[in-house]
Structure 1
Amino acid sequence: MQLNEPNEERDDEALDLASRLTDDHHQSLKLWLRMLSCTVKIENEIRSRLRAQFGITLPRFDLMAQLERHPEGLRMGELSKRMMVTGGNVTGITDQLEREGLVVRVPDPRDGRAFTVKLTPAGRRTFGRMAAVHEGWITELLQDMPGADKARLIELLSQMKGQLYARTEKNEEQR
């Protein structure tokens, strides 16, 4: 049996943040870490599959997903806000997708300095193919969880989201 070097990480331990918890951890922290570890595990798998099958990064896929939901297009600042990344990151991703003919920048009629980004017809077709495969991957990754458990988890997370938004609004009002 060979011992691991101190700096060597095993993939399963690196992704499973919740495995480091003890019974002494506060329940809220435990919940947050468990949700985070599941998210990271799924995200890394999707990231890897997008790269292997389509030669695309997750941020590029995410930008196209935002535009697919808004056929009228989105301004660069709105894309940045929705994707929770800097404007520079959105510009770089948009530049790549534009070179590939998947998106187009259109001058914003309300503000001559701003641009609206839209999927091109080729971008819409390309994203449609990727989105269908992506949905299948998610279904596959979560197939071992019974439907009733998924429904309950969705319900509980919706409640949590509502409570978090309410708390944020209350805090903003107090400022």
Structure 2
Amino acid sequence: MEAAFGFFNEIGIIAQLSGMALENAMPEGMTLAQFSVLNHLSRMGEGWTPQRIAQAMQVTKGAMTGTLKHLEGKELVVIVPDESDGRVKRVSISPEGRAMREACIAAVAPLMQEMMQDLDIKNIARTVPVLAAVRAWLDARRN
């Protein structure tokens, strides 16, 4: 039990520290939440509803609505009514959003390179399957 607590404690601290470091490295005006949405849409495809994105990000629909409004105001996403049900909105990443995602990735690259120089990257790479398995286990049990 103590090992599991220590494991999740370290993950929580890493999430806080890495989130702040990544956000500080991003282009001015971009937040980690905004980048996360752009990254999600880029990886998972187009046409997600705000509710589905909120569920994927584990935030409230209200919080996601605010994030999407900021992204839409910056022309990084396009929000349109669903073709079959106009009450439902669909979100897609714009070409500018894809470019911003790439700019964010480029902006954090020096931090990643520094980490790879200072830490044993092979050891870190070996942990990825373990972390992916833990993520999948937790994901299957949410809601």
Q: Considering the TM-score relative to the shorter chain, is it more than 0.5?
A: yes
State whether residues 46 and 93 of structure 2, in contact with CA within 8 Å, keep that contact through their aligned partners in structure 1.
no
Query: Which structure has the greater CA radius of gyration?
Result: 1
Give 5+ residue unaligned stretches, structure 1.
Answer: 1-24
2:57 is aligned with what amino acid? Answer: M
Deviation at 1:85, TM superposition (A): 0.8
Q: Distance in 2 between matches of 1:49 and 1:112?
A: 38
Q: Give the Å deviation of 1:94.
A: 1.2
Alignment of 1:51-66 (within 5 A): 53-66=27-40
Instruction: Give the AA of the match of 1:95.
Output: K
* In 2, Cα distance between equivalents of 1:49 and 1:107: 34
Normalised by the length of structure 2, the TM-score is 0.82
In 2: Cα distance, 1:160 partner to 1:126 partner: 30
Aligned residue-pair number:
143
- RMSD value, Cα: 2.5
Percent sequence identity over aligned pairs? 27
The Cα offsets for residues 62-117 of structure 1, whole Å up to 9 and x where unpaired, read as 11111212442311111101111111111111111112222111111232210111
Distance 1:78 1:159, change over 3 A: closer
Change in Cα spacing, 1:125 to 1:143, as seen in structure 2 (3 Å) is same
Gaps of 5+ in 2: none
TM-score by length of 1: 0.69
Q: Which has the higher contact order (CA 8 A, sep 6+)?
A: 2
